[in-house]
Amino acid sequence: MDLVMAKHWWRFVCIYASASSSNNRVFLLIRTIMKTYYITCKSNGEITGANEYSEFQNTSGLAEFYASQGLTAVEVTEEEYQALRGSTIEDTHYFDGTAFVQIPAKPSEYHYFDFSTKQYIEPAGLLDDLKSQKNDTIDKRRETLSTAPIEFRGAMFDADKTAQANISAWLNVINSGASVPKGFVWRDATNVDHTADAQFVRELATAMTMRGTAMYAAAWAHKAAVGALQSVQDVLSYNVQADW
């Protein structure tokens, strides 16, 4: 048996047993069945199929059959077959007319491999779409930071939309000339009450407003930085969590 050809063979055991009348010994006859392996490709090198055939299957005319469908059938070793068959599901290799070539890693999840040019293609408008998505992420980050509990006079106070509306309403009351009720308190984020007068309300409202303004300024700076980026990879790797 040729060792090179053996690489094409799939091991199959046929057992032949015969009992000797004298000593009842059993003899085993082991036989291998030859298999051949083919990878089919389009004219541009894209792999479309992986097939294996046993010696009992007639493969004469196989190349002509696939050629009639615009495909090329390339005979490969069993090792090559196992490595290449996955490319029928997810592109990992292409055929350059002589050998199978591994496809490089994607520049991003959005790129697709063009088998005609053997290069990755960036979808039209992708850069602008990713910038828009990044800006949406920046806006969400700004909103999250602007409405998170805020530290004031050594305690953490709610600063979500409800809290902002509440402080704004009381600020309007105070600015109209009215006084806060006697014993007025403001409850913090941990449900602890704090004695609050008009000055307390003004300062807490100012703290919320100043933080919100700072968050808008940071968001604008982030968006300007994103707008200046020139590549998909730069946009994808841009960190919107920093510098707030």
For every residue of 4-52, DSSP letters joined together read HHHTTEEP-------B-TTT--B------EEEEEEEEE-TTSBEEEEEE
Final residue before a domain boundary, out of 121, 143, 158: 121
How does pLDDT run across 4-34, given as a tens digit for each residue? 333 444 343 434 444 444 555 555 556 678 8
CA–CA dist 90, 88 (Å, integer): 6
Does 15 fall in a domain?
A: no
What phi and psi values does residue 185 have, to the nearest 5 degrees? -130, 160
Q: Which pair of tokens denotes residue 26?
A: 């059993």
- Tell me the chain's radius of gyration from C-alpha atoms: 36
* Residues 231 and 134 both lie in one domain: yes
User: For tokens 């389009």, what's the residue?
Assistant: 42
* Residues 116 and 197 both lie in one domain: no
pTM score:
0.68
Does 22 fall in a domain?
A: no
Residue 117 has pLDDT above 60, yes or no: yes
* Residues 114 and 194 both lie in one domain: no
Give the domain extent around 116: 35-121
Torsion of CA 184, 188, 191, 193, to 10 degrees: -30
* Residues 151 and 179 both lie in one domain: yes
How does pLDDT run across 179-205, given as a tens digit for each residue? 999 999 999 999 999 999 999 999 999
Does 242 fall in a domain?
A: no
Final residue before a domain boundary, out of 79, 99, 121: 121
Work out the pLDDT band at 56, boundaries 50, 70, 90: confident
Which DSSP symbol is given to 86? G
Q: How many domains does the chain have?
A: 2
* Residues 63 and 41 both lie in one domain: yes
* Residues 105 and 179 both lie in one domain: no
Element (H, E) at 101: strand 100-102
Does 30 fall in a domain?
A: no
